[in-house]
Structure 1
Amino acid sequence: MKKWGFIVGGLLVALLLAGVVSNFASSHPDGLDSSLREGCTFDADDEITGGSCPAQQEREHEIGGPLADYGIAGLDNEFLSTGLSGVLGVLLTFAVAGGAFWLVRRRDPAAENAAGADRADPATTSRG
């Protein structure tokens, strides 16, 4: 039972972080974005105005999707959109990881041996 408490507690913390705290994350570019922007100059609206950098080749998603750009498409409230996107991401990740762990879990060898022994024991099988 302790295991389930730990899993549920971890899921709740992840949901809280994704749903609420993610809205307060830095709006400044991360390390990858920063390195791609080196060599370019930007205006007050953060648009490239000159120079030469890989970020000039940036394009919109061709595929798009309901969770593109850290939000939910069609939801106008940015705070709610980002929070729900994070919550859906956590739940989807939890479901996929939980399913994968369930598929590769170790079976109880004692239970499998007992079931196999019943099938192989000639005294428990009837001949008829």
Structure 2
Amino acid sequence: MRKRSWGFVAVGLLVALLLAGVVSNYASSHPDGLDSSLLKGCTVDADGEITGGSCPAQQAKDHELADSPLADYGIRGVDNGFLSTGLSGVLGVLLTFAVGGGVFWLLRRRGPARPDDAGDAPREDRQPAGTAG
């Protein structure tokens, strides 16, 4: 990879880390469209707990990985919410970059098929196109 390409990748990685580590903390904590539509028909208190009514959200269950170290946009064991969310985002970006980089590295190592591998190599006794012999 050329130097210019490495610079582009490095700047992109730094921007992604900045967005994941800092800006992600300022995302809205209000329910998105799906959450809001699932709460229609229920009454909800200030903490977001369902207090009455009937709605699809009452059937919701915790995900199998709800107790994992990176569940709920944070890192379990880090008490500071801002730091927990930021570290979780940075870890996610680095993990995604490592997996993606590894896949591209493996694909690049394979390289394109060469003509002589497919039996399409030009014969030495043939003249190249456009030349007189």
TM-score normalised by the chain length of structure 2: 0.75
Q: How far does residue 108 in structure 1 lie from its aligned partner after superposition?
A: 6.0
Q: Helix, strand or coil: the match of 2:43? A: strand
| Residue number in structure 1 paired with 2:96 | 93
* Distance in 1 separating the partners of 2:70 and 2:37: 25
Q: How far does residue 28 in structure 1 lie from its aligned partner after superposition?
A: 0.7
* Distance in 2 separating the partners of 1:81 and 1:33: 23
| Residue identity in the other structure for 1:79 | F
Identity, % of aligned positions: 73
Write out aligned runs for 1:104-119 (5 A): 104-105=107-108, 107=111
Unaligned runs of 5+ in 1: 117-128
* Distance in 1 separating the partners of 2:56 and 2:106: 42
* Distance in 1 separating the partners of 2:48 and 2:64: 22
* Distance in 1 separating the partners of 2:10 and 2:112: 23
* Distance in 2 separating the partners of 1:19 and 1:62: 26
Q: How far does residue 62 in structure 1 lie from its aligned partner after superposition?
A: 3.3
| Residue number in structure 2 paired with 1:61 | 63
| Residue number in structure 2 paired with 1:84 | 87
Match among 25, 33, 38 for residue 36 of structure 1:
38
| Residue number in structure 1 paired with 2:11 | 9
Q: How far does residue 113 in structure 1 lie from its aligned partner after superposition?
A: 6.9
Match among 46, 50, 54 for residue 52 of structure 1:
54
| Residue number in structure 2 paired with 1:23 | 25
| Residue identity in the other structure for 1:42 | V
| Residue identity in the other structure for 1:39 | G
- RMSD, aligned CA: 2.0
| Residue identity in the other structure for 1:67 | L
| Residue identity in the other structure for 1:87 | V
